[in-house]
Amino acid sequence: MTSTQRRALILFSIAFAIYLIPVLYNNLVTPFFHIIPSQDVVSASLVPNSVLTRDNFYLDQYRRYIANNYAEQHFAMEINGHLVSVTPITAGVLALPFMGWGIGSGWIARTFNVFDLARVAAAFITTCAVLAFFFAARELTDRATATLVTLAFAFGTSVWATASSGLWQHTPSILFQSIAFWFLLRGVRQNGNELGPAGLFLSLATIARQPNFTTAGLATIFVLLCFRKSLIPFILWALPPLILVLIYNAAINGSPLSFGYQDEATRFSIPQWETIMGLLFSPSRGVFTLSPFLFLAPIGLWQGWKTAHRNFYAFVAIAFIGYLGIMAAWGSLGGWAYGARMLTDALPALCLLIIPAVEKIRGGWRIALSGVIILAAFVQSFGLFDYGNAFHADPANSIWSIENNEPLFYLKLYISMIQETLGL
Got the DSSP string for 261-289? -GGGGGG--SPPHHHHHHHHH-TTT-HHH
Query: Quick one: pLDDT band at residue 119, thresholds 50, 70, 90?
Result: very high
Under the banding of pLDDT at 50, 70 and 90, the label for residue 265 is: low
Name, of 57-71, 201-215, 384-398, the range with top average pLDDT: 201-215
Residue 262 has pLDDT above 60, yes or no: no
Least confident of 86-90, 190-194, 324-328: 190-194
Residues 163, 106, 89, 65, Cα dihedral to 10°: -100
Whether the per-residue pLDDT at 71 is higher than 80: the answer is yes
Cα 248 to its chain centre, rounded Å, is 23
Write down the pTM of the prediction. 0.96
Determine the angle formed by the axes of helices 143-155 and 111-138, rounding to 10 degrees: 150
Average of per-residue pLDDT values in the chain: 93
- Output the CA torsion 34→106→86→385 (10° steps): 10
Residues pairing with 79 in the sheet: 82
pLDDT given at position 264: 61
CA 171 to chain CA centroid, nearest Å: 4
What pLDDT is recorded for position 48?
96
Query: CB of 116 within 8 A of CB of 35?
Result: yes
Q: For residues 283 and 351, what is the distance between their CA atoms, to the nearest angstrom? A: 20
The DSSP element (H or E) to which 82 belongs, if any, is: strand 82-85
Give the residue from 84, 63, 264, 94 showing the smallest Cα distance to 174. 94
Strand partners, 83: 78
Residue 35 has pLDDT above 90, yes or no: no
Distances (CA, A) of 298 to 90, 252, 282, 323: 33, 44, 19, 16
Determine what percent of the chain is predicted with pLDDT higher than 90: 81
Q: Output the pLDDT for position 261.
A: 67
From the number of C-beta atoms within 10 Å of its C-beta (0-12, 13-18, 19+), residue 13 rates as: exposed
* Three-class SS state of 44: helix
Strands 76-79 and 82-85: antiparallel
The alpha helices in 40-157, defined as continuous H runs, are 42-54, 63-69, 90-94, 96-105, 111-138, 143-155
- Confidence category of residue 134, pLDDT binned at 50, 70, 90: very high
What pLDDT, on the 0 to 100 scale, is given for residue 152?
A: 98
Residue 96 confidence (pLDDT): 97
Please check the confidence at residue 299 and state whether its pLDDT lies above 80. Answer: yes
Report the alpha-carbon distance of residue 345 to residue 173 in Å, rounded.
6
Task: Report yes or no: 297 and 350 within 8 Å, Cβ to Cβ.
Answer: yes
The residue with greater pLDDT, 78 or 156, is 156
